[in-house]
Structure 1
């Protein structure tokens, strides 16, 4: 029986699909925010995160056994671990909503959520092109788009925190939303780190 080759590129795509699913779920939660449903929604989010963890374990088991890999095995290991970070960070936002007992969502949170969705989509388009990089240079444009969205997120974070400290008088709310906005920004930072690592691996391997 012919041995079926393990498709590392497919696993990488599935990792980013997990991030897109997490971003979409967070966006849905925020746009129809119901604090009473957060526990159930956290369970949904954890299933996505757990699925990504499973992909990492499967990949690691193949890396240990296989002699030849399509790109450097250490690059695969580092990349798949980095691609897991956005999903973890998105889940952390949901944890913050629950832990801080947030009952109303600020407009800036909705803007952050949309940026996160756009950034995960751009990262996915980049990872699709990764396998055929030599034949298609569009991946560079997708990575640049992730960088642009992260920069937009930095500006949003800057102004969100400033507006918070101008308008909010309650010290507890100041602390809660400062930390929550930081978690939103972390999502975009992690997506950009994944895109930048992808770029570095391309320069090394192709």
Structure 2
């Protein structure tokens, strides 16, 4: 078991992965999109976050391969890192598709998705902070919020796709927007996967 009074290098690595993911989500959510050129710039910058995330995952794997002892199960460390990376990959892919589809403005549904995803990213970082402190009980509060936000995204997905099929007459535009809505819902699901992995870690270390 890990020492709650000392920062373990594995938790430092996980925290870096979490922060990079959170920073990418916040950057995408806060970026002001007024044109196709803005979308291109955003896509490039989010790709940089994704590349940085891949490098951090690689560093963690190297550390796992070299270490005999880990503060928690090495499978749990790797699973948690990969689940957080899935969130980052989803953000990168979503905004790459927005740029590819030349959708110059985020609609209300997309903004609502991003609001809950951003909140989930914040909760993930807070939960990782508590993991390093071995405050497993308090971690559950953040896990609950992440799952609440995922349920909110489910509602946004259902309502937005329903309205899309009711009101959109252009079949190409319908396909584009449905794709983006589905990708955003997948990102919320990835956040919930992180929460589920954290729950597994709590169960094994309580």
TM-score (norm: length of structure 1): 0.92
1: distance between equivalents of 2:124 and 2:66?
A: 29
Any residues of structure 2 matched to 1:167-206 within 5 Å, and which? Answer: 167-206=167-206
2: distance between equivalents of 1:38 and 1:57?
A: 29
Matched, 1:166 2:166: yes
Distance 1:125 1:6, change over 3 A: closer
SS of the residue 2:128 aligns to: helix
Verify the 8 A CA contact 2:136 2:202 in the aligned structure 1.
no
Count of aligned pairs: 200
Any residues of structure 2 matched to 1:91-170 within 5 Å, and which? Answer: 91-133=92-134, 135=135, 137-170=137-170
Aligned-residue Cα RMSD (Å) equals: 1.5
- In the alignment, which of 19, 22, 28 is matched to residue 21 of structure 2? 19
1: distance between equivalents of 2:34 and 2:113?
A: 15
1:136, distance to aligned residue in structure 2 (A): 5.1
1:40, distance to aligned residue in structure 2 (A): 2.2
Using the TM superposition, name which of 63-72 and 36-45 deviates more: 36-45
1:119, distance to aligned residue in structure 2 (A): 0.8
1:104-155 deviation line (CA, Å, top 9, x unaligned): 321111111111111101111111111223x452110100000000000000
**Any gaps of 5 or more consecutive residues in structure 1?**
none
1:33, distance to aligned residue in structure 2 (A): 3.4
Matched, 1:7 2:9: yes
1: distance between equivalents of 2:108 and 2:131?
A: 35
2: distance between equivalents of 1:23 and 1:66?
A: 31
Using the TM superposition, name which of 67-76 and 155-164 deviates more: 67-76
Verify the 8 A CA contact 1:6 1:62 in the aligned structure 2.
no
1:39, distance to aligned residue in structure 2 (A): 2.3
2: distance between equivalents of 1:140 and 1:80?
A: 18
**Any gaps of 5 or more consecutive residues in structure 2?**
1-6
Verify the 8 A CA contact 1:165 1:174 in the aligned structure 2.
yes
TM-score (norm: length of structure 2): 0.92
Verify the 8 A CA contact 1:18 1:52 in the aligned structure 2.
yes
Q: Corresponding residue for 2:4?
A: none
Q: Corresponding residue for 1:89?
A: 90
